[in-house]
Amino acid sequence: MTALQVDLASPVPVYEQIRSQVSALVAVGGLRPGDRLPASRDLARDLGIAVGTVQRAYRELEASGVVTSRRRVGTVIAEPPATAGSGEVSGDAARPGGVSQGPAGKPASDPSGLVGEARALVARAREQGLSDEAVLALVRGALLPESR
Amino acid sequence: MHAVVLVIVLGLPALLITLIVLLVTNQGGPPRDHEATVVAARRHETRISAAAAAASVCSALALGNPAVVTWGPPGVLLGLAPFVAALTFCLARLSGETRWPRPTGEVRSAPLVRRSVRDQGGWRLPLFVGTAVGLAVALVVFGLTAADDGRSVERVVTSAGGVVVETHAAGPYPDWELGGPALVALLLVVGTTVLALRAVTRRPPIGLLSPAQDDAIRRTSAARVLGGAQAWVGLGAAGYLAFAAGALLRVDELAGGLACLLLAVVAFVGSLVVATTALTSRRAGAADGVPRTAPAEPSA
């Protein structure tokens, strides 16, 4: 069962924690196109936070094309666009704490094995005692253009 | 006497529910680790269920005993006893559901799954609704087929020329006088059951538990809400059907009488079996768990 976790004491705003975790789950296939997210009111009650916080996270996810909101169905993980493979880098990859999602932000499958390699990287980093922040810094560093 | 009835019908459940709230109130502070949380959560759930069951049995015994309460036409209170018991059970469950701990602490988690009353109710929900609808239809049919005296059923034997040869009548038969209040009570029971299920569905996840374990406890709660309601409504249905069967068989309406008798046995045994299956706690990862995520329905 897919779950998300927020840290109210974190310097990262709670809405951003929700947004980045949903984006990350979509990136690794934990959430697939057509999956329904809980209603913002329900998720807010479950987490004991304000409804507006969840609504803001959902709005941001919708703006980046990760989810769509339908009147009767609610918030649903969006279908990946047909233009996948264009090499475009999503906005998430550029944001601190964000998740690289591949073209247009939401790959639904792992045809190139990148998700498996990312998991292997995380496993190796944890074996070597690296923190999650250190792993993220490593990936962000690798995303930067080489200056030499 | 009406005042005494009101005091018992309203006061007894209120007293019992107050006792339940006191019983399930957390004592000794929140558990500190994962295992202790699982044990505490299951104990809390079992306490709610046991207290609700005890309260419902007490209210049924009070209403069903003429030495304790006498009110209205004969048999009305006895006929209402199962439904009042179901109401007490669901109200007690509803009260107990509000006593779960709220999300606290700085790190909080929640499953990314849409929970609905239908998902949590599982196969028991359509069975309960089917039983209630079936009983409502039976009560309406009994009301329409009752004799003018309101307490019996008649079978008129006519000759080939249409002349009335003889009339057979037998009772007691669940006419409008008995069936009307039962229909209203049944409606209240269905509404309260849905409210209790809604409370189970909307309860925030228990801290320190994994989503799968929280889901298992939630499904246990939903199964027990429906199990209790099913047991009492099934018992009520069996009672009304058995009375009708007795009267119909005495006026030689064999087909109707036997059908009612068969349905009474099915309602009684079936409901008790369903209630019994709800007693055991659901385990994390069981086959009847809710799906990982709920896929979207096709848009209209």
Q: Which domain holds residue A75?
A: 14-109
How sure is the predictor about A138, in pLDDT bands with cuts at 50, 70 and 90? confident
Question: How are the residues of chain A apportioned to helix, strand and coil, as percentages rounded to the nearest 5?
Answer: 45, 10, 45
Domain count, chain A: 1
**Helices marked H in chain B:** 2-6, 12-24, 34-64, 76-97, 117-121, 124-145, 176-202, 211-250, 254-277
- CA angle centred on A27, ends A23 and A30, rounded to 5°: 90
Taking the domains of chain B in order of start, what are their residue ranges?
2-26+36-100+122-277
CB spacing of B292 vs A42 below 8 angstroms: no
Best A40, A46, A76 residue to mutate vs chain B (most B CBs within 10 Å): A46
How is residue A88 written in tokens?
């475009």
CB contact at 8 A, B207 and B102: no
3-state secondary structure B106-162: CEEEEECCCCCHHHHHCCHHHHHHHHHHHHHHHHHHHHHHECCCCCCEEEEEECCCC
pLDDT at B99: 80
How sure is the predictor about B26, in pLDDT bands with cuts at 50, 70 and 90? low
How sure is the predictor about A39, in pLDDT bands with cuts at 50, 70 and 90? very high
- Which residues of A sit within 8 Å Cβ distance of B? 1-9, 22, 25, 31-32, 34-39, 42-43, 45-49, 70, 72-74, 76
Best B97, B100, B112, B217 residue to mutate vs chain A (most A CBs within 10 Å): B112
Answer whether residue A55 is part of any domain: yes
Answer whether residue A38 is part of any domain: yes
The CATH number of residue A25's host domain is 1.10.10.10
pLDDT at B199: 93
Answer whether residue A57 is part of any domain: yes
Residues 43 to 82 of B: which have CB under 8 A from any A CB?
none
Q: Percent of chain B beyond pLDDT 90? A: 34
What average pLDDT does range A100-123 have in this prediction?
A: 66
Which of B106, B211, B300 comes nearest A1 by C-beta? B211
Rounded to two decimals, the ipTM of the complex is: 0.70
| Bond prior to B13 in cis (omega within 30° of 0) | no
pLDDT at A145: 81
Residues of A within 8 A of B202 (CB-CB) are 42, 45
pLDDT (tens digit per residue) in B232-288: 999 999 999 998 998 888 888 888 889 999 999 999 999 999 999 988 877 765 545
Query: Does the structure show a pLDDT above 90 at B68?
Result: no
pLDDT at B6: 60
How sure is the predictor about B207, in pLDDT bands with cuts at 50, 70 and 90? confident
How sure is the predictor about B204, in pLDDT bands with cuts at 50, 70 and 90? confident
Residues 93 to 132 of B: which have CB under 8 A from any A CB?
102-104, 106-115
d(CA B123, CA B129): 10
pLDDT at B16: 66
d(CA B206, CA B70): 45
CB contact at 8 A, B120 and B222: yes
CB spacing of B114 vs A6 below 8 angstroms: no
Distances, alpha carbon B38 to alpha carbons B26, B32, B45, in Å: 14, 11, 11
